[in-house]
Amino acid sequence: MSSTSETPLLDLLGSMTLESIEVSGLEPSELMLVRIAALVAVDAPTVSYVTNLEAIASVGIDADRVRGVLAAVAPIVGTARVASAIGKIGEALGVAIEEAAR
């Protein structure tokens, strides 16, 4: 893979994300809620949450909406995945998600 960028893998991920946004046809907030659910479903690492948190905040998704997604997917993905997501989101934010809304 030939690239003049110093971050070719991050650039690739960024371009894949932009293309998926264009193709999905979803509204930005809908797209980010779906992405949160997908991150939980695959037990994504903390860095995946970090790379999405700025976009999540920029479309007006607050902690209550994130909690709603976690509650909605819990019966499908299981409590272990949701607990893992809570910890990783907290790590990404640098706070405990249950305390962030207080």
pLDDT at 63: 87
Rg (CA), the chain: 14
Could you tell me which residues come within 8 angstroms of residue 65 by beta carbon, excluding any fewer than 6 positions away? 33
Helix residue ranges, H only, 1-102: 8-24, 28-41, 46-58, 63-77, 79-93, 97-100
Checking phi first, is residue 44 left (phi over 0); if not, alpha (psi -120 to 50) or beta? beta
Q: What is the pLDDT of residues 23-43, one digit of tens each?
A: 999 998 999 999 999 999 999
Per-residue pLDDT for 100 more than 80? no
Give ∠ CA 10-53-21 in degrees, rounded to 5: 65
Q: What is the pLDDT of residues 41-77, one digit of tens each?
A: 999 999 899 888 888 888 899 989 999 999 999 999 9
pLDDT at 84: 96
pTM of model > 0.75: yes
